[in-house]
Amino acid sequence: MRILEERIRRYELMRWSQEPDRRVLPFSWGIEHIGGSASEAGPRSFLEHFADETVARGDEWFASTPAPDYALDGDDVLTFTSQVESRWPANNRVHAQLFRAARRGPAVVVLAQWNAKWHEQQASCRWLNRLGITAIKMSLPYHDRRAIPGHPRADFLVAPDIGQTLEANRQAILDVRRTVRWLEHEGYTRIGILGTSVGSCIGFIAMVHDPAVVASAHLHVSTHFGDVVATGLTTKNVWESLRAHVTQEELRRYWLPISPAPYFSKLHGSGKRVLAIAGKYDPTFWPEYTDRFMSAMRSDGVRFESLSLPCGHYSLGAAPFKYAVGYRFGTFLRRALA
């Protein structure tokens, strides 16, 4: 197992080093993105108060309405206006690829990893189709067709701008809920979510707050958004800017509203089904944070299923691990949405 771990860690580093266009952007408190002023004299106090108030009124902050302009084109691409209006018009038009199952049955919203391209996760959608499940893969804010000029990477979904990151992740969660509203309008009554990495975090919060979502599968899990960014391999360039201004503990607190941890208790009595899949050698979602996620869920009395594999973050999506992952989330969602 030691030899396998070393091979996995070398593979993870190799995949990370091959990613293009990774930049270190400047730090910003970004208070103006969450209702404050860019000239706020006490940004730390503002963010602490904002985090407490937002978690307390999470149902309000994540409240969603149907989009007024859903449009499905001939290529089965759904578009609609995001509920959150960012500074960039291109980002405010949501795009989602629809993969119809042969027969009308359950449906799953698929959320890819950070910086995923348009074609990624299509194989997962087709696998769900084979299991009788319609899949709709929603592009996250600042990704692929929602990218903004000068930023081929999704720099503003996970950024060294604290308020911007809060706004963008809230936008993602509300986009998911608007996608769910469209599925309901189309007659789907058993709806689930499949999320990977940051898509897992976004999907978890959307699932917790949306009564129509009855099951979710999460590839990579952690309790707090800030811990992943501060310690993860894939977010080293983001933390490089942040660490000169905030500690890991501060970041964990500021980004509490977009973390799974404060919302575990909302699953009590909900009847929702949850699957968590993780890699034992993951250098982005470190095992200690994954273990805390699962321990906290158990402590809160939340029932869930889990799978841990001897792989890392990138390698979870590579052979042979991807086959075990696909089989597990596919059979789970088919059973949970039956």
Residue pair 257/171 in contact by the 8 Å Cβ criterion:
no
Place of tokens 């706020």: 40
Q: How many CB atoms lie within 10 A of CB 61?
A: 17
Give the chain's domain count.
1
* CATH number for the domain harbouring residue 325: 3.40.50.1820
Calculate ∠ Cα 264-266-270, nearest 5°: 115
Q: Within the chain, which residues score under 70 in pLDDT?
A: none
Calculate ∠ Cα 132-210-110, nearest 5°: 40
Three-class SS string for the chain?
CHHHHHHHHHHHHHHHHCCCCCCCCCCECCHHHHCCCCCCCCHHHHHHHHHHHHHHCHHHHCCCCCCCCCEECCCCEEEEECCCCCCCHHHHEEEEEEECCCCCCCEEEEECCCCCCCCCCHHHHHHHHHCCCEEEEECCCCCHHHCECCECCCCCCCCCEHHHHHHHHHHHHHHHHHHHHHHHHCCCCCEEEEEECHHHHHHHHHHHHCCCEEEEEEECCCCCHHHHHHHCCCCHHHHHHHCCCCCHHHHHHHCHHHCCHHHHHHHCCCCCEEEEEEECCCCCCCHHHHHHHHHHHHHCCCCCEEEEECCCCCHHHCCCHHHHHHHHHHHHHHHHCC
Say how far residue 224 (Cα) sits from the centre of its chain: 12
**What's the domain range around 40?**
2-336
Note the pLDDT of residue 267.
Answer: 96
Note the pLDDT of residue 268.
Answer: 92
Note the pLDDT of residue 1.
Answer: 72
Residue pair 155/142 in contact by the 8 Å Cβ criterion:
yes
Can you tell me the distance from the alpha carbon of 196 to that of 208, in angstroms, rounded to the nearest whole number?
Answer: 16
Note the pLDDT of residue 85.
Answer: 97
Note the pLDDT of residue 24.
Answer: 97
Note the pLDDT of residue 37.
Answer: 94
Q: How many CB atoms lie within 10 A of CB 323?
A: 10
Note the pLDDT of residue 238.
Answer: 98
